[in-house]
Amino acid sequence: MIQMMYNTPAIALAKLMELGLPPIFEQIWQSHGPRRFCCQWNHPRRFFDMDLQADLELFCPRISQCVPLLECDLDELVAYDSVANEYVSLVYEGATCKVIGANYQQFLSSLFVDLGYAGLQDVVEDVAPLFGYKYLVEFRRFMETDDDDELSCEEVKARFVRSIPV
């Protein structure tokens, strides 16, 4: 079995801080993040359950090389794959793992579109500067014109995320 590289909160937080991400991540991990954002995305908790980690490694070996970043409702983790240099989403139920960004700005775009779809565009407006998001104008335009009836919401979102420069 592959050994999870970032299997405790202390190890994961240390690596997260080495990545040079904005201070907002550390603030969220220390329970000092923006309240409305943290109602959706908070510091990982369930991810560090050893039984869950064993299952995740079995069904999604890639997760062993990922730095956990945020967790949603104890159901989904977003992480940075430190080997592939990509951002991934892992849904615990079914252990499905998918790339959500080839870089940091694409990762944020993916998270923020989901918040926008949930009616929380104002939260995105509030936190975008804290995360160093550079595409707020494009995000606003996307949210205003998101009306492609031939594609699913996920396909439209993926097209927008891919439009963010790598």
Q: Given pLDDT bands bounded at 50, 70 and 90, which one contains residue 4?
A: low
Q: Given pLDDT bands bounded at 50, 70 and 90, which one contains residue 54?
A: confident
Q: What is the mean pLDDT of residues 70-97?
A: 92
For 129-152, write each residue's pLDDT tens digit: 999 999 999 999 999 985 666 888
Residues counted in the chain: 166
Q: What is the pLDDT of residue 12?
A: 94
Rounded Cα distance, 160 and 166, in Å: 13
Q: If you average pLDDT over every residue of the chain, what do you get?
A: 91
Q: Which pTM was predicted?
A: 0.92
- The answer, yes or no, to whether residue 3 has pLDDT greater than 70, is no
Rounded Cα distance, 67 and 78, in Å: 9
Q: Name the percent of the chain lying above pLDDT 90.
A: 74
Q: Which one-letter DSSP state was computed for residue 149?
A: T
Q: What is the pLDDT of residue 28?
A: 97
- Per domain, the residue ranges of the chain are 9-101, 105-163
For 17-46, write each residue's pLDDT tens digit: 999 999 999 999 999 999 999 999 999 999
Q: What is the pLDDT of residue 95?
A: 74
- The answer, yes or no, to whether residue 63 has pLDDT greater than 90, is no
Rounded Cα distance, 31 and 39, in Å: 11
Q: What is the pLDDT of residue 119?
A: 95
DSSP output for 69-117: EEEETTTEEEEEETTTTEEEEEETTTTEEEEEESSHHHHHHHHHHHHHH
